Structure 1
């Protein structure tokens, strides 16, 4: 399930090993050498360190071996000791793999400018793990943020040598946290959210704490197409009723990113009263979600409830074809095989990236629903998921939360 200790560079395959985008390993140009400089902070899914590699300063995000109950969507009716089931959820929903998939999508489509620059993933070797833990005794990566070290998730699924898996990290451009956001910054961030969703990336952690150097930096909760929520064709056994339920949940995740943007603006203005000009950029009129006054009796529901993008429209199979083409040039992509590690910030060797064209103003996604559901959505400002997921007969199925 977790990536195993690499025996050679050939074991450093693009991750995760499932359908969809993958992130390549960082190329150390020789033995792994990391100088740990400073502990920058911890979050729900990871610890962030300031490091120096090859003379450059980076931010290294080291991911927790968090409880599987914290992975998005996995329901209680799954056997937590079933390796096949846990691997299926891990590949799409665990924070490290979620971030790998989102940054992988930005790389394969030529849109890395929509987020903080990602240089690839890192698996700490034993020497660097010891050095890091010796230098930062407060860094705990086993268990959840709220109960660090309380449960040994790292040892639940051991590697081929019977060892717990290596600590996983993602290396990013180092930059300043948001300190002076203005209207032009917010317009750019709102545009970036719209374009990320056009690339099939939703459930973005939209908050000012995640803005680094004026760009979105965190995708540990993101869902990237193809995903078992957004992509019904991954499971040919779904009924029309379940596909409809998945569409509704996808719509809510899409619109929630824009609700979160508006909430970020409100919180920023409240926490920065000294700022001369308040931020006035909103996704929805007035910053109140889709709570727009309409005549419910004369306006059809499709005119009342909408998100700005339908992320399901992203053609992920075109990207999959691109991965197959890359495999013939820079190495194979798939389970147990991968591309030769690329240089920092570059595509696999011998491959030129093709930039996916995005629309400045994509067509809105009007959700076709009853007046009752439309009225409920109009009053919403955030939501709780109604679906959980179970692995059965080789596929992931939705079910109503209990």
Structure 2
């Protein structure tokens, strides 16, 4: 039996490979990148003499769903394992980046190269860098009013999971020249079955998406569990979010005051695009990547509790 790490997550659909054959690597932590997010800490690191952005993802409890801001309710699922496979922020990122690799469309976002699992000594090192040298493992160090790795009882033995990405180029989220490409990239993501589900200005750097921690990548149980009208609302939230980001960019001076938003973006954001919301990500043919399409499809259907 092989002791090599699995591709993750362990549910039907796209997966991300480990960054190294063992999913472990020597890591030199350089500096924090941006502000800590709701579910991660991102640091510039050196691995094998190369600089990367390492997104270290906090644990998400399987006791209940973590809702995207636009979501009215989450699917009720039959098992915590299944919930974690499709809703957990780390697995959302793995699935989205796995799909981009399947489709050879990694240019649609800041590229990711695989995942790593931090060793206990590495977790202790980065925790001390984040919260200070007085941290001890027994204290489960706290920062900003909460445990920094968001561990629950079911995560007691879980290593910190991290995704190795390129360091995004630029400082501002985007500029005037980026807006048409941001829209075409978003539509291309939908075309390969990725609903970003969290489009806002600070999920971009230099006009490229840097975060998929809320993404629904087809197949996703939300499309089965939710009413079609609610699914449509979830999908139109992506162009709405981009349209709002451009307006915010005007206020911040990243975007010229007289910039013209692409007409189809404006229509989709207003619910007036094709099929009311542009390209439909749930229609993507994900089964073409499955060894046994029938088994994979049935698994998705049987894991969703009817509402």
Contact 2:23 2:117 (8 Å CA) reproduced:
no
**Are residues 1:166 and 2:176 paired?**
no
Distance in structure 2 (CA, Å) of the matches to 1:127 and 1:207? 35
Q: CA shift at 1:135, angstroms?
A: 2.4
Distance 2:52 2:146 in 1: 25
TM-aligned CA distance change 1:22 to 1:252, over 3 Å: same
**Where does residue 290 of structure 1 map in the other structure?**
270
Tell me the secondary structure at the aligned position of residue 82 of structure 2.
helix
Aligned runs of 1:42-191 on 2, under 5 Å?
Answer: 42-68=36-62, 69-72=64-67, 74=74, 85-137=79-131, 147-149=145-147, 154-157=151-154, 164-179=157-172, 181-191=174-184
How far 1:74 moved relative to its partner?
4.8
Q: Report SS of the residue matched to 1:90.
A: helix
CA contact (8 A) 1:121 1:169 kept: yes
State the distance in 2 between where 1:222 and 1:143 align.
Answer: 29
Cα separation, 2, equivalents of 1:306 and 1:288:
7
For the residue of structure 1 that corresponds to 2:31, the secondary structure is: strand
Which moves more between the two structures, 304-313 or 32-41?
304-313
Query: Structure 2 vs 1, CA of residues 103 and 285 (structure 1 numbering), >3 Å: closer, same or farther?
Result: closer
Measure the CA separation in 2 of the matches of 1:281 and 1:317.
35
Which structure has more helix as a fraction of its residues? 2
Shift of 1:277: 5.2
- For 2:287 and 2:266, locate their aligned partners in 1 and report how far apart those are by CA, in whole Å: 38
Runs of 4+ in structure 1 over 4 Å off: 28-31, 142-147, 283-288
C-alpha distance after superposition, 1:268-320 (max 9, x if no partner)? 101218x655432246575793277xxxxxxxxxx996111111221000022
**Alignment-derived partner of residue 281 in structure 1:** 261
Distance 1:201 1:308 in 2: 13
Change over 3 Å in CA distance of 1:167–1:216 after alignment to 2: same
Deviates more, 1:258-267 or 1:304-313: 304-313
Is 126-135 or 86-95 further displaced after alignment? 126-135
Aligned partner of 2:29 in structure 1 is 36
How far apart are 1:203 and its partner, in Å?
Answer: 3.5
Question: 2:154 is paired with a residue of what secondary structure?
Answer: coil
Shift in Å, 1:95: 0.7
How many pairs were matched up? Answer: 289
2:52 aligned counterpart, secondary structure: strand
The TM-score with structure 2 as length reference comes to: 0.81
Structure 1 position 28, deviation (Å): 7.0
Give the secondary-structure state (helix, strand or coil) at the position aligned to 1:42.
coil
CA distance in 1, matches of 2:4, 2:243: 43
Give the direction of change, closer, same or farther, for the CA distance of 1:197–1:398 in structure 2 (3 Å limit). farther
Q: Paired residue for 2:284? A: 314
Please provide the CA RMSD for this pair: 3.6
Matches within 5 A, 1:332-371: none
8 A contact 1:16–1:97 mirrored in 2: yes
**8 Å contact from structure 1 (residues 177, 211) kept in 2:** no
Which structure: larger Rg? 1
- Asked if 1 retains the 8 angstrom alpha-carbon contact of 2:53 and 2:165, the reply is yes
Runs of at least 5 residues in structure 2 that lack an aligned partner in the other structure? 68-72
Unaligned 5+ residue runs, structure 1? 1-7, 79-83, 233-241, 293-302, 324-333, 335-392
